[in-house]
Amino acid sequence: MRFKVPQDSETIIWTKHAIEKMMQYQLSESRVRRVLHTPHRIEEGIAPQTIAAMQSVGTPKHPKEIWVMFQEIKTKNNKRNKKIKINPLHQRIRIISVWRYPGKTPIRELPQLPDDEWEFLKKGLFAD
């Protein structure tokens, strides 16, 4: 099956890094959205001003977790710029990274990240 690249919407902006990680871990756009809408746990992200949401998957014998790190985007409500219409019920977010964690992370502790994730965060590509 071919991977369908997610498109930006009124509420979600996808970074190139997140799309690459979705392909690497074989996660679809709908699976990532499901983690965002019904997370089992929400933690503070490891990067500044980020949030990480998690859903448990797998079996009790072989537990896995899907993590989504995102950043809330502050928008200025300009009356002049009517091209950007944002639904007031939903905040606009930027998906920074997505990964599948083998095992179960302890509650209220940050998950271990692969080395390439740390390199991405150090570069600060997601900072405003």
pLDDT (0 to 100) of residue 91: 75
> With a threshold of 0.85, does the pTM exceed it?
no
Q: Which residues of the chain are under the pLDDT cut of 70?
A: 1, 75-90, 108-111, 122, 124-128
63-98 pLDDT per residue, tens: 999 999 999 887 665 444 445 454 454 578 999 999
Nearest CA to 52 among 64, 31, 35, 75? 35
pLDDT (0 to 100) of residue 125: 55
Sequence-distant (≥ 6) Cβ neighbours of residue 64 within 8 angstroms: 56, 57, 58, 100, 101, 102, 103
Backbone angles phi, psi at 119, to 5 degrees: -60, -40
Amino acid of residue 71? Q
Q: Give all strands of the β-sheet with 41-44 in edge-to-edge order.
A: 12-14, 93-102, 63-72, 51-58, 41-44
Nearest CA to 30 among 66, 74, 71? 66
**Cα-based distances in Å from 86 to 28, 46, 51, 75, 89:** 24, 28, 21, 9, 9
pLDDT (0 to 100) of residue 78: 46
Structural contact between residues 29 and 6, judged by C-beta atoms closer than 8 angstroms? yes
Q: Mean pLDDT score of the chain, rounded to an integer? A: 81
